[in-house]
Amino acid sequence: KQEVTQIPAALSVPEGENLVLNCSFTDSAIYNLQWFRQDPGKGLTSLLLIQSSQREQTSGRLNASLDKSSGRSTLYIAASQPGDSATYLCAVPMNNAGNMLTFGGGTRLMVKP
Amino acid sequence: GAVVSQHPSWVICKSGTSVKIECRSLDFQATTMFWYRQFPKQSLMLMATSNEGSKATYEQGVEKDKFLINHASLTLSTLTVTSAHPEDSSFYICSARDFRGTFNEQFFGPGTRLTVL
């Protein structure tokens, strides 16, 4: 059974800092890995999707890396802003045939002005 | 990216009533949609997989007679919480996969907050 863990559970940083969020998974035979953002009381916004054959994806100030062999992914946020404050979730499909996602517990990020 | 909507955004109901939540893919067809539940300060837990034209597949521990799922068209799936009780209060989120792309990316609805009094 795939288990996804995110560290840290919560993070508070001053504006402008570069930061790294970590995601680990127990079964390295993943199809892809997706990073989401969730604002309080809201749904999920897809940030980045990394296919199993890729090592990283970039979107603006966000960079996600994937190391399948070690079962890890990181989300790097450059020059953090107060608007980045949210919960960040990583998720992997439960199997290769379907797309049901197993989510990590999330990292609650607070960027202080 | 693809857009998924949910209706209603929030609902408050009395214990014992049934509540229907709609999930729509607005600009693509989705043969499969997924329903998740999220309790406060917890992550999302998959409840069931909704398949167009066939019965839903429920995760272990989810009562299929309590959480009725209907996927009558390629753009609409509904989740009905029957005889709702306070413990059913939660944030319900649906998702759908856009098969047009080359990636198996899921797009999520904005969620529906259910409060049962």
* Record: contact A41-B93, CB cut-off 8 A: no
The DSSP bridge partners found for residue A42 are none
Start-to-end Cα distance in chain B? 37
The reported pLDDT for the residue numbered B56 is 92
User: Sorting pLDDT into bands at 50, 70 and 90, what band is B1?
Assistant: low
Q: How far is CA A40 from the centre of its chain?
A: 17
Query: Is residue A85's pLDDT more than 90?
Result: yes
For A53, which residue in chain B has the nearest alpha carbon?
B103
The reported pLDDT for the residue numbered B87 is 95
Number of residues that this document lists for chain A: 113
Selection from A112, A90, A94, A87 nearest residue A103 by Cα: A90
The reported pLDDT for the residue numbered B104 is 63
User: Sorting pLDDT into bands at 50, 70 and 90, what band is A97?
Assistant: low
Average pLDDT of chain B to the nearest whole number: 90
The reported pLDDT for the residue numbered A16 is 97
Is residue B15 within 8 A of residue B117, CB to CB? The reply is yes
* Record: contact B91-A51, CB cut-off 8 A: no
The DSSP bridge partners found for residue A18 are none
Residue-wise pLDDT tens digits, B4-56: 999 999 999 999 999 999 999 998 888 889 999 999 888 899 999 988 888 89
Selection from A86, A82, A81, A90 nearest residue A24 by Cα: A90
* Record: contact B49-A36, CB cut-off 8 A: no
Query: Is residue A98's pLDDT more than 60?
Result: no
Q: How far is CA A96 from the centre of its chain?
A: 20
The first and second tokens of residue B30, run together, are: 């989705």
Residue-wise pLDDT tens digits, A13-64: 999 999 999 999 998 888 889 999 999 888 899 899 998 889 999 999 999 9
> Rounded CA gap, B64 and A17, in Å?
47
User: Sorting pLDDT into bands at 50, 70 and 90, what band is A1?
Assistant: confident
| Contacts of residue A8, Cβ cutoff 8 Å, sequence gap at least 6 | A21, A22, A107
Query: Is residue B102's pLDDT more than 70?
Result: no
Q: Return the SS3 of A105.
A: coil
The reported pLDDT for the residue numbered A106 is 95
* Record: contact B91-A41, CB cut-off 8 A: yes
Contact residues on chain B for A51, CB-CB shorter than 8 A: 103
User: Sorting pLDDT into bands at 50, 70 and 90, what band is B103?
Assistant: low
Start-to-end Cα distance in chain A? 41
Contact residues on chain A for B1, CB-CB shorter than 8 A: 46
User: Sorting pLDDT into bands at 50, 70 and 90, what band is B80?
Assistant: very high
Asked if omega into A8 is within 30° of 0 (cis), the reply is yes
Q: Give the one of B42, B103, B110 whose C-beta lies nearest to A43's C-beta.
A: B110
Query: Is residue A83's pLDDT more than 90?
Result: yes
Backbone angles phi, psi at A25, to 5 degrees: -135, 150
Query: Is residue B110's pLDDT more than 60?
Result: yes
Contact residues on chain B for A41, CB-CB shorter than 8 A: 91, 111, 113
The first and second tokens of residue A41, run together, are: 């009381």
- Long-range contacts, A83-87 (Cβ 8 Å, 24+): A83/A111, A84/A109, A84/A111, A85/A109, A85/A110, A85/A111, A86/A37, A86/A38, A86/A39, A86/A40, A87/A37, A87/A38, A87/A39, A87/A40
Residue-wise pLDDT tens digits, A64-80: 999 999 999 999 999 99
